[in-house]
């Protein structure tokens, strides 16, 4: 799949060496070398869906991260939206959902289906990386519990229909800033 991505001019133009926007990032484990073109590719779908490429672009996520897995002979796919916000009023739930839908339904399953639908996937993750509640020194498990127990705005993502891509499903998972992507 990576070879096909490098050979496709539209996809090649949105390859990135990082997944960072809005002062929030996704970190890569030391085992994943961004300069190695056989284990990891980061794409920026929001650059593909931009006003410079189309008159009224649909909303789209910040990063699509692909990690080649040796253990399952496939790929881990991470769809990531990054937001540096200080309160839950800093994001629109429906807009976030539509960003993921655009990438899954149009980008992966329509426009570039000849690349993405021909592969096997080990894991499929949809992440909304943000800290709208100012949680500090909190584990991801504590954050998940806080969101659910206090019925915060982010808990809404647990109530929507999961996204499906090939034979995998994923909810939008609220993640504290700077999560780590590891080898699979």
pLDDT of 56 higher than 70: yes
Backbone angles phi, psi at 27, to 5 degrees: -90, 155
pLDDT of 35 higher than 70: no
Arithmetic mean of pLDDT over the chain: 92
pLDDT of 181 higher than 90: yes
pLDDT digits (tens, 9 = 90+) for 59-94: 999 999 999 998 888 999 999 999 998 888 888 999
- pLDDT grade for 16, boundaries at 50, 70 and 90: very high
pLDDT of 130 higher than 90: yes
pLDDT at 54: 85
- Does the pTM surpass 0.85? The reply is yes
If you write DSSP's letter for every residue of 39-85 in order, what string do you get?
Answer: TEEEE-HHHHSSTTT-SSPPP--SEEEEEEETTTTEEEEEEEEE---
pLDDT of 37 higher than 70: no
pLDDT at 156: 92
pLDDT at 57: 93
pLDDT of 22 higher than 80: no
Q: Is 31 or 81 the better-scoring residue by pLDDT?
A: 81
Whole domain around residue 157: which residue ranges? 2-181
pLDDT of 52 higher than 90: no
**Torsional sign, CA 102, 76, 161, 158:** negative
Q: What are the beta bridge partners of residue 175?
A: 129
**What is the total count of domains within the chain?**
1
- 42 touches 70 (CB < 8 A): no
pLDDT of 34 higher than 80: no
pLDDT at 51: 84
């Amino acid at each position: 799949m990576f070879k096909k991505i490098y050979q496709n001019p539209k996809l090649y133009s949105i390859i990135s060496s990082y997944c960072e926007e809005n002062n929030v990032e996704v970190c890569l484990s030391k085992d994943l070398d961004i300069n190695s073109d056989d284990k990891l590719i980061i794409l920026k779908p929001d650059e593909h869906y931009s006003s410079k490429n189309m008159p009224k672009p649909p909303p789209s996520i910040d990063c699509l991260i692909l990690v080649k897995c040796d253990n399952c002979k496939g790929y881990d796919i991470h769809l990531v939206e990054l937001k540096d916000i200080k309160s839950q009023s800093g994001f629109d739930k429906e807009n976030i959902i539509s960003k993921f839908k655009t990438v899954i339904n149009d980008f992966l399953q329509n426009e570039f289906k000849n690349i993405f639908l021909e592969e096997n996937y080990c894991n499929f993750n949809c992440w909304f990386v943000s800290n709208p509640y100012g949680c500090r020194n909190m584990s991801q498990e504590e954050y998940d519990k806080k969101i659910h127990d206090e019925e915060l705005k982010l808990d809404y993502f647990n109530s929507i229909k999961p996204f499906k891509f090939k034979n995998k499903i994923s909810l939008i998972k609220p993640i504290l800033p700077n999560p780590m992507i590891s080898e699979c």
